[in-house]
Amino acid sequence: MEDYIDFEEFRILGVGDKVPEFVIKVYDTVEKRFKEVNIYKDILSKGKFLVLFYYPADFTFVCPTELEDLAEKYDQIKKEGAEVIAMSTDTVYTHLAWHATEKLLENVKFPMGEDHTGTIAKMFNIYDYKSGVAYRATIIIDPDGTVVGMEVNNTDVGRDADELLRKIKAFKYVREHPGEVCPAKWGKDVNITLKPGENLVGRVYEYYKKGK
């Protein structure tokens, strides 16, 4: 078994920061077994994006609706070269029991990770010390190990997997097309990208409306 990293050595991470190498203990919902995932060796080094999809707790109310929604988009997310690990401060044993009990989770095929002490959540500053659980947070990490996207919600409002998929496509696109940026609603209602430069200053309307 690999040693878990001492997160106390690392500062709080945000967008633009490179994450350290660490291992997540997960419940594999397909193979029905516990295992460990090294985020670099098993995911990032293979050229994949990683989505850490944090939710407050198993056996709650908004959480299963989010995971069901995410499960519906999981195949599309994988096609875009990304992997998802659903995360909470529950143990893998609780994940197993919840996955076997809650009907909304019957199509969940992504691994469910354990952050029982909240050490990973604390590293991303998404841990609620009052309740002892993580906020609803989505962390997107590119294949280089850099945090490119973060969304943090309070516990009472769920997220939309369609928007997560759109963001993954956008981050993938700008990674593959340096010098281009994706405007609002790109990949949804807008199909053009922009190339920042002096010729675009004060003239975004002309280019942006052309692609809507």
| Residues 109 and 76: beta-carbon distance below 8 Å | no
Mean pLDDT of 175-204: 93
53, 149 contact by CB (below 8 A) = no
Query: CATH code for 7-160+167-175?
Result: 3.40.30.10
What's the rounded mean pLDDT across residues 150-169? 98
Q: Is the pLDDT of residue 10 over 70?
A: no
- C-alpha 35/C-alpha 33 separation (Å) is 7
Q: Return the structure tokens found at 184.
A: 């609002």
Average pLDDT over residues 199-206: 91
**Enzyme catalytic residues:** 63
End-to-end Cα distance, the chain: 52
Where do the structural domains in the chain lie, given as residue ranges?
A: 7-160+167-175, 177-212
Mean pLDDT of 191-198: 92
Give per-residue pLDDT as tens, 39-63: 999 999 999 999 999 999 999 999 9
Q: Is 106 exposed, middle or buried (0-12, 13-18, 19+ CB in 10 A)?
A: exposed
Q: Sorting pLDDT into bands at 50, 70 and 90, what band is 9?
A: low
- Would you tell me how many other CB atoms lie within 10 Å of the CB of residue 208? 15
Nearest Cα residue to 125 out of 11, 9, 1, 4 = 11
Residue 178 pLDDT grade (very low, low, confident, very high; cuts 50, 70, 90): very high
Give the model's confidence band at 3: pLDDT under 50 very low, under 70 low, under 90 confident, else very high: very low
- Give all strands (DSSP E) within 41-193, no chain letters: 49-54, 82-88, 112-114, 127-128, 133-134, 136-141, 147-153
Per-residue pLDDT tens for 89-125?
A: 999 999 999 999 999 999 999 999 999 999 999 999 9
- How many whole angstroms separate alpha carbon 174 and alpha carbon 155? 31
pLDDT band with cut points at 50, 70 and 90 for residue 2: very low
pLDDT for residue 125:
97
Is 212's pLDDT higher than 60?
no
Give percent of the chain with pLDDT exceeding 90: 89
For the cut 80, the answer to whether the pLDDT of residue 185 exceeds it is: yes
DSSP 43: I
